[in-house]
Amino acid sequence: MIHIGQKIRKIVETKGIRASWLAQQLCCERRNIYHIYSRSTIDTELLLRLSEVLDYDFFADISSDFQSHKTSENAPVRKI
């Protein structure tokens, strides 16, 4: 499965964005950005805000990862 925090960090670094700028856009402190980078899961509302601010569709990556995981293992979908 995708580690969403690492994916977010990669996109931020690729775009040459500083953590302080991202924190300002999200109305939070810079240290919260580093906390986001360490998370393997994330709230969908926050992920939507990050997608908008960074102009990147993280949901597409998650969906693609899900589809490839589902087809490669031919495993049933986990019930919650």
Q: Is the Cα dihedral 67, 72, 74, 78 positive or negative?
A: negative
Residues 56 and 30: their CA atoms lie apart, in Å, by 20
Q: pTM for this one?
A: 0.83
Span 32-51, pLDDT tens digits = 999 999 999 999 999 999 99
Span 5-32, pLDDT tens digits = 999 999 999 999 999 999 999 999 999 9
